Structures are given as structure tokens and as C-alpha cells.
Structure 1
């Protein structure tokens, strides 16, 4: 991890002068991708990567009206208020320890994890990892404010109420998920089909969600692993969109240690619902063999992802390396999943 050159802080400073989205709805992946590159030892590539990526970004949207403790409810989910939200969280974090702000707002934001295809929650996960790994400073605290503000502005509830309460393991529940009927859709149009898809609510509700915090964290790790390996076989359904079925729960997993333990089990339940939704919308109907990863190392896989350059490939490889590192049996299927993303996703996506 680069902790001396200030590469991450320099990159975040550049990116905070740009808006969280471009072309009306595409998420700015810059803060997430540069954090992953630096975390994986590719700090030297960050500014060159940004020089290219930054050309597509847009200016910060103008502020509207100040958000306060008295009126935040009416601004939640209002995309036009994203700059107001960033200012609000910047003020909170300047006055309180960031962990206190996160603990207060996590339960408020978590139900809206589906917003912007889960990108705001993923951005929070990268921000928290930077703070807990590299330490606190102005740029990293500012990034957390930007990430939370983006999540508040894009807060989107799924169009159904569901609390998983079964006994299924993540891999089994994931494998049993049905697919929606109308494919090649936006996330919002896909979400609207889920409750009417035969068997979807029952299958999604079948996951076992432990109430013990440590057991919940372990189960969340299993979910990340299952979603990553699922991409290896089913990623060709939509190479870009399906990565979020793994990167979103991994962002939640990375955030858990900074949260009160009583929030861990509810976080698992919501992360699973998001993963189930994305999988049913974007995973292929039938599997295909993934690339062979038996002769490559984790470092070589991330090198390929970094050289590929697409932010989704970089972030998914970052998650796949987490899964591979957690494997006790030398399982290379997570690395195969990352290689599949390199194969499936175009460098301009």
C-alpha cells in the first residue's frame, strides 16, 4: 500500500473536483478504481489512468438548498441534491468522528443500496478501507463524505419488502435464483420485474441470516465468494453489470469492522437481497467454462486487470483477490472469475 507518496490523496483531490456521475446516470468510478489500484501495489499507474478516465467526467453539479437534520428526509433519494448531500456529510465529519457518522447513517442508507446499481455503497466500502488501512486525513475523510452523499442522493428502495429468514447457504440460494423474463434492461426496470418472477421472492427469502454478528460476517464472506465464483460461469449474461453482485456485498463486508456489531446481521440481509436482484437480472441462463487460472498468480491477475484499464475489471479483480486470499485450499476459481471479466468487458466500458 502506498502510504508515503500521497498518490491516493492526490488522486482524490483531482476527483473531488468532478461530479459523481456523467452522461446523466453513469457513475464516476474513479475514486473506487484508484483506491483499488493503490491497495494492490499499482500506485505508479494511477495518474496515467486518471489522465484518460478524467476526460469523460463532468463538473460538480450546482448546490440547491442546504440539508439539515430537520429536512434531510425530504432530500433522501433526490439526485439533484447530490452536492447538497456532500456538503452535509462534510460538515458532519468535520464535527464528529467519521465512525460515529457512519454508524448513524448506515441504517438510514442501507435500505437504499440498490440506487445507481449499488455504486454508492461500493464507493463507501472503498472509502472505509482507505481510512482503516491508510489512516485518517483530509482527503480520505472528504472521500467518505462524497461517497455517503452520493448514496443519500441515489438512495433507491427495491419495490418490495423482503427479509431473508430461511436456512440456505449463499451458494445454494444463488444457484437457485430464477431469471427475469425481460432481459437487457436498466436496473430499475429489472427491479420492477423481480417480485413477479415465479419463485424469486421465495428463493431470495431462503437465505439463512445468522443473528450472531461473527456468524453474519462469516456468512457475508461466503456470499462474496459465491457471487464471485458465479461470475466465472455466468458473467457472459452481462459482463459489466454482474460484477456488482460481488463487489457490492464485498463493500459491505469491508465496512462491517467500522460499524457497531448489531448492524452486521441486517447488513448481510440487505447485501444478499441486492446480490440476488443483480444476479436474476444480469446473470446468463446457462454457464460457460471460465478461463484457466491454474498457472497464474493473484498478482499476475491483478496486473492484467490494471493493464486492461476498465474500472469494473479493476474493482472486480480487487474483490476476486480478496476471495482468493480467504481460500484455504488454494482454489483458483476466484482468479478465473477475474480473468473472465478481463475477457468479457471492453476497455471502453
Structure 2
């Protein structure tokens, strides 16, 4: 399907190649050494929807698996059942067992029902593999791929990462921005260092910072919460173009894909925004741009949609594919031209 409001179309042979290719590479682990997220099943879909040829998809799959030495999942430890699968949550060595468990669940009740029934228990651990469990599930939903839904739920469960919940939650708020705007005034958020460069290690560390733990649990689900975080995420990314803020923009898209299959999707959004707040500290808690600045950026001259998509497809950086695809998808929803601006910047077509 072509994008509404854009000039991008799929290669006529791409769709036929994608499903068997993703089925093949989807058998590999959700992470590669050392504990980095395997983006390949997701970005192949993004590339296909951005116009990649079957030949480019095959070429990129070989490149990615070779460059990152993406392994197969670890050997099984022991079968999991409805009674004991929760004991394996957060244990990467149980990835195969959890994938097998959820494969059986999906076979019995279907992928959509599996999401509705089981994902709420995993909401607090949405930081799993630096939120890439959510990414993999979102793309599985996008493809209506029950096999990938089962794999995604197992991956999310195996890499589950939650902030410790405080004994006493601070004053509740329905405003995502209110929490963020108060953060720069907290002295203990300055000068934090974490030895690892992994995003999820930073997120994990923030859960041990007392002032940050005071923010956990305060954001309450609200009907407009996803709209709030979508707008804030785009503003922060446009202002900083940082790797961390990129994940806030793409994550907003992933949440939107999963939300229709949840009874309380805004509860997941609230947990996810806590992860974004942790990453906001990592990028130095910059001021949000004002409305006039955002409007000026929206009106910058742009290359064509096809040029932006082609630059993303030609890139070997999985974050170029991910950001560009999500930006065009969010443009379809909102009509906000700033999404095209950040995509063009990301792939180096404008300054």
C-alpha cells in the first residue's frame, strides 16, 4: 500500500520475499553479543515498506547477520507451563523456553488474544532490551504475523526490565510534560555515569537513583496520554537528534500499533514514558523547543518523500530504516510535517 500524503510505493516483488525472509531470520535470538537488540526482523519490514527491492532485502539480511554475529537462541532449560512461566521472566537464558511457551499460547488462542491476555503482566518491564521487545511485537502486529507475536512475547519476557516500584507513590499527574519539565531542577540527575554504553543498562541504573524512583508510578493513564508523549517525543528529537530521543519517536509509533489489542493501553504508555524520562537524563535534560521554533523547522525545504525513503533504504544503519518508517507512519496519522524534517535530517539530506 502506498502512503497517504507521500510519494512512496513498495517494490512489486518485495512483499512476496519479506514473509519467508523474516520467518527464516526470525528464528535467531532477540539479541546479539553483547546484549544488543537484534533489529533485523523489524527493519526488513520497514525497508520493504519504504521501497526496498528483494535483492536489497537479501543483501541487508546477510550484512546484518554477518556484521553482528546474530546467534540462535540459547538451548532450552525446561518446558514452561501456565503455572510456572512467570518464574522465567527476566532471565535471558530462558529465551527459548519462553518463546516455546508463547508459541503454544498463540497456537491455542491466536496472537491478538495472546497479547490481550498476557501482555499486561509485562507492561512494567517495557524497558526490555531497551524497549525493543515492544518494537518486535509492534512489527509482528503490523504484519499480522502470529509466529512473530509468540517470539516477541517470549523475547519481551526474557529481557523484562522494570523500575522498582516505590513504597509510597508521589502526587499523581495526568501530564507527561509536567514530570519531564520538573526534572532539570533535580541536582542528583546531573553527572550520572554508567560504565556500560548499553541503553538498557542506563535505564536499569536510573531505577536505583532515589530522586528518579520518586517519579515512578506518578503518571496516571489518561485518554490522551499517547498523544501527549507523541508530541513531546517529536519535539525532543527535533531539538536534539539524539539516539535516545530517536527511540522515543519510534516507540510512540510502536505503542500505537499494539494499543488496539489491549484493554488498557494507556497503562502501557505510562510505563513506557518512565523509560523515556530515564533516557532524558542521559541526553542532559535539554529545554523543549518553543512553538515558534518547531513551526520554523516544519517549514524547512525538504527533498521528496521518495528521496528520503531511498536514502534510508540505502543505509546500513538499522536506526535510519526504523526512524524513517516510523516518521512517515506518524505523519500519516498526524499530518505533522516535522516528521518528514527529522527523517530527512536523520538520513543526511538536510542539515
> TM-score range, shorter-chain basis?
0.7 to 0.9
CA distance in 2, matches of 1:110, 1:39: 28
> Which segment drifts farther, 270-279 or 145-154?
270-279
Aligned to 2:80: 67
Counterpart in the other structure of 2:58:
47
CA contact (8 A) 1:33 1:315 kept: yes
- Using the TM superposition, give the Cα deviation of residue 311 of structure 1 relative to its aligned residue in structure 2, in angstroms: 1.0
Aligned-residue offset at 1:75: 0.7
* 1:180 Cα offset (Å): 4.8
* Aligned-pair CA distance for 1:27: 1.2
Q: 2:337 aligns with which of 325, 329, 332?
A: 332
Q: CA deviation at 1:204?
A: 7.0
3-state DSSP class of the match of 2:83?
A: coil
- TM-score, length basis structure 2: 0.80
Runs (5+) with no aligned partner, structure 1: 132-139, 345-349
The 1:253–1:60 alpha-carbon spacing in structure 2 relative to 1, beyond 3 Å, is same
Structure 2 residue aligned with 1:135: none
State the shift of 1:43 in Å.
4.8
Matches within 5 A, 1:1-349: 1=1, 5-44=15-54, 45-55=56-66, 56=68, 57-131=70-144, 140-161=145-166, 165-168=172-175, 170=176, 173-178=179-184, 179-183=189-193, 185=196, 186=198, 187-193=200-206, 196=209, 200=212, 209-210=221-222, 215=223, 218-236=224-242, 239=243, 241-260=244-263, 263-282=264-283, 285=286, 293-328=300-335, 331-343=336-348
> What's the TM-score, normalizing by structure 1?
0.80
SS at structure 2 position matched to 1:116: coil
Cα distance, 1:35 vs structure 2: 1.6
* CA–CA distance in structure 2, aligned partners of residues 296 and 194 of structure 1: 42
- Check conservation: 1:109, 1:152, Cα contact below 8 A: yes
Q: More displaced, 51-60 or 292-301?
A: 292-301
The number of residues matched between the two structures is 321
Q: Which runs of 5+ in 2 are unaligned?
A: 2-9
Rounded Cα–Cα distance in structure 2 between residues aligned with 1:283 and 1:35: 33
- In structure 1, what is the Cα distance between the partners aligned to 2:348 and 2:142? 28
> 1-side partners of 2:345 and 2:170: how far apart?
32
Structure 2 distance, partners of 1:322, 1:172, is 27
SS in structure 2 of the partner of residue 158 of structure 1: coil
Question: What SS does the aligned partner of 2:130 have?
Answer: helix
Counterpart position of 1:347 = none
Rounded to whole Å, the distance in 1 between the matches of 2:58 and 2:151 is 20
Once the two structures are TM-superposed, the CA of residue 194 in structure 1 deviates from its matched residue by 5.4
Contact 1:225 1:323 in 2 (8 A): no
- 1:301 and 1:174 map into 2 onto residues whose CA distance is 31
Give the 3 Å change call, closer, same or farther, for CA 11–176 of structure 1 in structure 2.
Answer: farther
